């Protein structure tokens, strides 16, 4: 599943390592969040949304399967 988070990260040409360091989330956890295998906590999703200047919502990060 291509989640909104992964799609945005790739569009912005940000590596998973860069995002991981910027938001303080382990690369493995971030990868699982990005692939829809692990849910992000609200706090983590907020940090990711802030990194991307709210171009993605917290809800899209936490519940990627419900995107419209």
Vertex 49: Cα angle to 41 and 29 (nearest 5): 45
Q: What is the pLDDT of residues 9-62, one digit of tens each?
A: 999 999 999 999 999 999 999 999 999 999 999 999 999 999 999 999 999 999
pLDDT of residue 67: 58
Inform me whether the pLDDT recorded for 1 exceeds 80. no
Specify the CATH architecture of the domain 4-66: Orthogonal Bundle (1.10)
The pLDDT, as a whole number, for residue 19 is 99
Can you tell me whether residue 10 is helix, strand or coil?
helix
The residue extents of the domains of the chain are 4-66
């Amino acid at each position: 599943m291509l989640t909104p988070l992964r799609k945005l990260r790739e569009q912005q040409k940000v590596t998973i390592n860069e995002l991981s360091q910027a938001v303080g989330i382990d690369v493995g956890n971030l990868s699982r969040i990005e692939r829809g295998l692990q849910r992000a906590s609200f706090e983590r999703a907020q940090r990711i949304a802030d990194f991307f200047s709210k171009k993605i919502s917290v809800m899209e990060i936490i519940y990627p399967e419900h995107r419209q």
